[in-house]
Amino acid sequence: MKNHTYYKHIGLYAYRTGVLKEITALAQSSLELAESLEQLRWLENGYTIKVGLSDVETIGIDTPEDLKRAETFLNNRK
């Protein structure tokens, strides 16, 4: 494992209005349901997902506790 490069997924998505309307109208796929990843629905229907690299450190916010940590971090930056 030491000889591999690992990346962190930050989960930031940007959509054109028309594409957002299209992908939200797609039926859920079996792969999406099995993996709980809506992005798989897009890929299975021929859409592409572009990715980018960033060296900016991010804070994941998935719980109320995460939100409190992020708020503290932002308040301390002022």
- In order, the DSSP letters of 66-77 are HHHHHHHHHHHT
Within a domain: 28: yes
Q: Is the pLDDT of residue 1 over 80?
A: no
Within a domain: 58: yes
Within a domain: 38: yes
Q: Is the pLDDT of residue 6 over 90?
A: no
So what's the pLDDT on residue 60?
A: 86
CA-nearest of 24, 16, 6, 1 to 50 is 16
pLDDT (tens digit per residue) in 27-76: 999 999 999 999 999 999 999 999 999 998 888 899 999 999 999 999 99
Domain residues for the domain of 58 are 17-76
Within a domain: 7: no
Within a domain: 46: yes
Domain count, the chain: 1
pLDDT confidence of 21, banded at 50, 70, 90? very high
So what's the pLDDT on residue 7?
A: 87
So what's the pLDDT on residue 11?
A: 83
Within a domain: 1: no
